[in-house]
Amino acid sequence: MSKLSRRSFLKGAGVATGAAIIGASPLSAAAESEQAPELVANPSQLPKEPLVAYVRDAQKAEVTLLVGTDEVTYRDPALTKRLLRTARPRKHGAGEVA
Amino acid sequence: MSSHREAPEISKDPVADSTDVYAFVSPDHPDTVTIISNYIPLEGPAGGPNFFEFGDDVLYSLYIDNDGDAKPDITYQFQFTTQVQNANTFLYNTGPIGSLDDPNWNRRQFYSVSRTDRKNSTTMLSDNLPSPPCNIGPRSTPSYAGLAAAAVRDLASGETVFAGQRNDGFFVDLGSIFDLGDIRPLQNLHLIPTPMTASVDTLSTFNVHTIAIRVPISMLTKDGSVPTDPLSGKAVLGIWAGASRRKVRMTEGPLHSGAGPWVQVSRLGNPLFNEVIVPMARKDEWNASDPVDDNDFAAYVRQPELGKLLPVLYPGVFPHLAGLTASRDDLVAILLTGLPSGIVPGFQNYTGPTLADVLRLNVAINPSSTPNALGILGGDLAGFPNGRRVFDDVVSIELKAIAGATYPLVNASYTPDGAVAAVNGYVTPGAGRYQSAFPYLGLPHDGFSTPSP
């Protein structure tokens, strides 16, 4: 599994490829840009089989993807950085869970 | 208690907690093997209004190794789906449940069965199989035996299956043994003595949820044969159970989702292995591991903690056991490798040098017409530790073994302490606990009359 590319892994799992997705539908190309993430006030319903990504080790830039019954961990400094930046504490607002 | 609530984490997850595994040549169909795995320990029969059921988010597995490498060659998996018929009532049933499709039965479970072979090829054998309701009482489930019988299904592939509530066939004096290792027949000799009292069959009024499958022997052996020579290596099957959950569970309001691989949270082969042999700090690890890696736990079999405790708890009662410091190779054979030929005349269930906690069933041993609950210790080669039948007195057998009864198998000069004989079927299961036909465990106790009003 570790020899697979992220793109081929996601494709094999029947998921459209893109950047990090946390319990969400496939991202558009815009989401891969460096623009600031947009808060979603009314998120879509929890999917039956969510794609889950989490930062396993921020120092080592390890990100784990769970898709269907597959699991794979990548070293992806850019994705790790983007996730950590998005996850920075902020004042709670629409679309956020306190 | 066999494996009910035997480890810290799984004790918080009853629907995935395997309580007992049984594997035996079916007495009424000796060309088949029956494998049973029970879940949900200590089900109080009156436990409504949300009566007990299997976990829709749990993958239940039965594993069979037929070449002695402690890895599954055949895997049966069961997955459940719950359906609510009437969203506008809090009731489990809105009237008597007379059949498995009775409109009065509001909350029902169905399940699928698949079989995976050694090449990892999976075949869905059947789905949408009904699980019977829980046994509630004379108004709700007036003809329970009929409901349960209707849930026994023959599959086109040759297996027979059942998944649903039964009474717990395991018997043990639970309150006594967990009170600092009190063995009631010896309680006046305990370090903290109490007057002699009768033993208690603690689980006599509890139910479990049973997954049972009866499989032709020819579908389990490596070469498709039905062995007749007990001394043939291909006559022995290794059998164990596991329950798994998705690695991630997400909850949002009433919705739940799972993601990632199935992760094993419970496993069970020999009764009491994780409970009595493995230290508490490693019990969760053991549940998550596989039999092929059980060498990591073999040290606890070679020097079992309970074997050292007994002489302390019963001063002067187990002097020979107190002096027994050698590796308990008898227990290693019983629990981790099987008994090789030459130990018990006409019998072996050796699977090779790989140390693995699995039930080892020699399918060439015919069912006994006069079974002895002490199994091989009682001269009955068809009983534990040759697989395990529903009525085998595994507590007495394993207590006696750990207390030294089986050490002469590897050192003929050793004489077991006289007290070992007292640990002899001191709990007797009551009537109705078992039945002669599949799934062999008796009907579940109903909530209305258990305990008796």
- ipTM for the complex shown: 0.81
Residue B32 has pLDDT above 70, yes or no: yes
pLDDT digits (tens, 9 = 90+) for B118-160: 899 999 999 999 999 999 999 999 999 999 999 999 999 999 9
Assign residue B203 a region (left: φ > 0; alpha: ψ between -120 and 50; beta: otherwise): alpha
Percent of chain B predicted with pLDDT > 90? 93
Distance (Å) from the C-alpha of residue B257 to the closest C-alpha of chain A? 5
Query: Do the Cβ atoms of B227 and B237 come closer than 8 Å?
Result: no
Residue A4 has pLDDT above 60, yes or no: no
Q: What is the pLDDT of residue B371?
A: 96
DSSP annotation of A32: G
Long-range contacts of residues A36-43, Cβ cutoff 8 Å, at least 24 apart: A37/A86, A39/A93, A39/A94, A39/A95, A39/A96, A40/A95, A41/A94, A41/A95, A42/A95, A43/A95
Q: Is B254 on the interface with A (CB under 8 A)?
A: no
Distance (Å) from the C-alpha of residue B7 to the closest C-alpha of chain A? 26
Output phi, psi for B254, to 5 deg. Answer: -85, -5
Domain ranges in chain B?
A: 10-422
CA distance B271 to A39: 53
Q: What is the pLDDT of residue A30?
A: 43
Distance (Å) from the C-alpha of residue A35 to the closest C-alpha of chain B? 28
Residue B200: burial class (beta carbons within 10 Å; 0-12, 13-18, 19+): middle
Asked if A47 and B257 come within 8 Å (Cβ–Cβ), the reply is yes
| Strand-by-strand arrangement of the A62-67 sheet | A52-57, A62-67, A70-75
Mean pLDDT, residues A50-66 taken together: 97
CB burial readout B375-410, b (16+ within 10 A) else e: bbbbebbbbbbbbbbbbbbbbbbbbbbbbbbbbebb
Q: Is B250 on the interface with A (CB under 8 A)?
A: yes
CA distance B17 to B26: 25
Rg of chain A over CA atoms, in angstroms?
14
Asked if A66 and B247 come within 8 Å (Cβ–Cβ), the reply is yes
Query: Do the Cβ atoms of B328 and B303 come closer than 8 Å?
Result: yes
Please name every residue paired with B111 in a beta bridge, in sequence order, or none if there are none: B80, B129
CA distance B365 to B375: 12
Residue B269 has pLDDT above 50, yes or no: yes
Residue B104 has pLDDT above 50, yes or no: yes
Output phi, psi for B400, to 5 deg. Answer: -65, -40
Distance (Å) from the C-alpha of residue A61 to the closest C-alpha of chain B? 20
Query: Do the Cβ atoms of B2 and B19 come closer than 8 Å?
Result: yes
Name the residue with tokens 């079916």: B26
Q: Is the N-terminal amide bond of B385 cis, ω within 30° of 0?
A: yes
Asked if A51 and B259 come within 8 Å (Cβ–Cβ), the reply is yes
Asked if B250 and A50 come within 8 Å (Cβ–Cβ), the reply is yes
| Of the listed ranges A93-97, B244-248, B348-352, B377-381, the one predicted with least confidence | A93-97
Output phi, psi for A30, to 5 deg. Answer: -60, -30
Residues of chain A with C-beta less than 8 angstroms from the C-beta of B264: none
CA distance B452 to B17: 28
> How does the average pLDDT of chain B come out, rounded?
96
Q: Is B258 on the interface with A (CB under 8 A)?
A: yes
**pTM of the entire predicted model:** 0.92
Asked if A46 and B252 come within 8 Å (Cβ–Cβ), the reply is yes
Residues of chain B with C-beta less than 8 angstroms from the C-beta of A69: 246, 260-262
CB burial readout B95-118, b (16+ within 10 A) else e: eebeebebebbbbbbbbebbbbee
The candidate with the shortest Cα–Cα distance to B404, out of B306, B272, B264, B312, is B306
Q: Which helix (H) or strand (E) holds A77?
A: helix A77-86
Give the 3-state secondary structure of residue A86.
helix
The candidate with the shortest Cα–Cα distance to B359, out of B40, B65, B162, is B65
Residues of chain A with C-beta less than 8 angstroms from the C-beta of B246: 69
